[in-house]
Amino acid sequence: MTISSKLETGFIAVITTLMVPIMVINMLGGLVSGIWLIILGEWGAIFRGIIFIFVSGFAISIALMPALLFAGPAALAMEKGKKVLGMIFGLLSVLYIVALITVWCIWIMWLFVSTATESSLIPLLIWSYGVALAPWMWLAQKDQLGNGNESSIITTFFAQISYILAMVMVFFGATLGTILITFGSIMFIGAIAQTAVAFGGEIKRSVASNEVREAIDMLVEASHIYGSEFDLIKEQIEEIILVDTKKFIDAIQSGRSVRKYIYSTIANISGDMVESGNYHIYRGVLNPHGPGEKLLEIFDAAMDELVNLGDTDFESSRREKEAIRENIKAVG
């Protein structure tokens, strides 16, 4: 296992461990703290929290608008090939969001615990967690489902970790200033992580060889031709090329053109995917509402392109197409 693989495995292990308390609080925190506060007669805190949860999503959406002042130039710079400038603007956008989350969360926490008694401190801390983070979790989920953007999930994860640590610090009597600095520092680390995820692939491409850049451009071209379903294949090929660039370069230098390599890989991956059974509605039949039929079309088109390129002949291509359809009938 390479060093980078070990680091990735270690990071995933840490994330998995930290997710346990987060999942417990997310699932049970609101219910337990709400019942606890009802028993204590803290109706004001309960109603205040419910009102905040309902109106905060809209208010935060408006407060997030200034981030577009950086996100727009970031996307434009990346499109024009100015990767470093795009990354700087992207980081500024993320830092604004991180600062907003930090101020919001600390304010909500102070609002609920500033008048807490010894008996109500713990339930108010847990209740404030849901009030502070519910709108951010909702926006992150909406962003992921709408745009396929997973980087916002990273920011939300770091916010949850920061808030749990802040709750512990409040319980042990830390000052508001210390809590604010700690919260902000953890969120800053999250901002760097989110920027690395969002722009890391682009930076890799910017320093890649001519062959790699040609391959990536070819995949973008194929995306325009085959549509959104091709992204399932494109991501895998990009990973193959960028993770083991030397192997890719060796294949090209051995005499195979970039285009032959790319379309051969497209055919292999799309063929494996439709034969996997993951896209069947039942045995032997691809789900018409899923990407399976489109993946089969991509396989056929890739084989046709390989015939045009002279990488295979028409008869061999025909046999491959028949074979994959027989395999589709046998699984699911």
Q: Is there a single domain that holds both residue 177 and residue 158?
A: yes
Residue 128 — very low, low, confident or very high, per pLDDT cuts 50/70/90?
very high
**Final residue before a domain boundary, out of 177, 204, 231:** 204
Q: Is there a single domain that holds both residue 36 and residue 166?
A: yes
Q: Is there a single domain that holds both residue 187 and residue 242?
A: no
- Statement: residue 123 has pLDDT above 80: yes
pLDDT per residue as tens digits for the range 272-292: 988 888 888 878 788 888 888
**Averaged pLDDT score across all residues of the chain:** 82
**Final residue before a domain boundary, out of 175, 204, 233:** 204
Q: What pLDDT was estimated at residue 7? A: 44
Lowest mean pLDDT, pick from 20-34, 143-157, 295-309: 143-157
The burial class, CB within 10 Å (0-12 / 13-18 / 19+), for 44 is exposed
Q: What pLDDT was estimated at residue 203? A: 53
Characterise 283 by phi-psi region: left (phi > 0), alpha (psi -120 to 50), beta (else): beta
Q: Is there a single domain that holds both residue 91 and residue 159?
A: yes
Q: What pLDDT was estimated at residue 61? A: 83
Q: Is there a single domain that holds both residue 90 and residue 57?
A: yes
Q: Is there a single domain that holds both residue 225 and residue 153?
A: no
**Final residue before a domain boundary, out of 166, 183, 204:** 204
Q: What pLDDT was estimated at residue 99? A: 93
Residue 42's domain comprises 3-204
Task: State pTM to two decimals.
Answer: 0.57
- Statement: residue 2 has pLDDT above 70: no
Q: Is there a single domain that holds both residue 250 and residue 288?
A: yes
Q: Is there a single domain that holds both residue 145 and residue 220?
A: no
The burial class, CB within 10 Å (0-12 / 13-18 / 19+), for 166 is buried
Q: Is there a single domain that holds both residue 29 and residue 79?
A: yes
Q: Is there a single domain that holds both residue 18 and residue 77?
A: yes
Cβ–Cβ < 8 Å for 43, 130: no
Residue 204 — very low, low, confident or very high, per pLDDT cuts 50/70/90?
low
- Statement: residue 6 has pLDDT above 60: no
Q: Is there a single domain that holds both residue 195 and residue 230?
A: no
Return d(Cα 228, Cα 36) in angstroms, integer: 48
Q: Which of 34-43, 52-61, 194-203 has the highest mean predicted lDDT (pLDDT)? A: 34-43
Question: Domain tally for the chain?
Answer: 2
* Percent over 90 (pLDDT), the chain: 31
Per the model's pLDDT, the better-predicted residue between 202 and 274 turns out to be: 274
Mean pLDDT of 251-279: 87
DSSP bridge pairs for 285:
282
Q: Is there a single domain that holds both residue 178 and residue 267?
A: no
Mean pLDDT of 43-56: 89
